[in-house]
A and B are shown apart, each in its own frame.
Chain A
Amino acid sequence: QQPVQSPQAVILREGEDAVINCSSSKALYSVHWYRQKHGEAPVFLMILLKGGEQKGHEKISASFNEKKQQSSLYLTASQLSYSGTYFCGTEIYPGNTPLVFGKGTRLSVIA
């Protein structure tokens, strides 16, 4: 079952913050986040596991609410290099079910 991402697209000015949400109708074991820049392959950002802690690296972090079956990606003080399409991927039973991605959120950061 494909997770639902919101918003579909967002435009930011450099330095602004953004939140991208990912929700599932099924109980999740893990949520994965990837970023794809135009014309490039998707690149891994982070995995959040059930029962695990919020993850983050500098200005990009994420949370996973298991009860609500939702994850959020937080981008703070955005930079031009953050532009791209962000995908969340969800796993229900790792090793038994595939990683299923949402339709993506297109993020554009302008000067």
Chain B
Amino acid sequence: KAGVTQTPRYLIKTRGQQVTLSCSPISGHRSVSWYQQTPGQGLQFLFEYFSETQRNKGNFPGRFSGRQFSNSRSEMNVSTLELGDSALYLCASSLTLGNTEAFFGQGTRLTVV
């Protein structure tokens, strides 16, 4: 079966712009989580969605937002981009919440210039 698909794979944006990243989970998976990965910081938790509801939010400013649609696809949006937002953004899908294997997508590499 198809894995987790993230689009686009690469993005270059200018400071002050906004960006929307997309994640299509594995068919049948209802939970989607987003992580920001930067060198030396590991995987920083952004959001967790289940059945279109945001279940948890990480310690990120309000410029970071997200949503999940009825087909479990998820988007995250970053407004007023800053240089420090440059990172690999990873999406992970799971069958359900907690105690379960997460499947990661290849990520979207965002560069802010």
Contact = CB atoms under 8 A, between A and B. Distances in A.
Given A2-B42, A87-B43, A99 B102 contact: yes
Contacts of A94: 97-99
Contacts of A95: 96-99
A104 B40 CA distance: 8
A90 to B, nearest CB: 11
Contacts of A42: 43, 90, 92, 104
A99 B45 CA distance: 8
Given A97-B56, A101-B43, A102-B42, A44 B103 contact: yes
Contacts of B48: 98
Which has the most chain B C-beta neighbours within 10 Å: A40, A42, A93? A42
B45 A101 contact: yes
Interface string B59-95: 0000000000000000000000000000000101000
B1 to A, nearest CB: 16
Contacts of A109: none
A41 B98 contact: no
Interface string B23-51: 00000000001010000111111001000
Contacts of A2: 42
A21 interface: no
A101 B103 contact: no
A43 interface: yes
A47 B98 CA distance: 11
B79 to A, nearest CB: 22
A34 to B, nearest CB: 8
Interface of B: 4, 33, 35, 40-45, 48, 55-56, 58, 90, 92, 96-107
Interface of A: 2, 29-30, 32, 34, 40-44, 47, 49, 87, 89, 91, 93-104
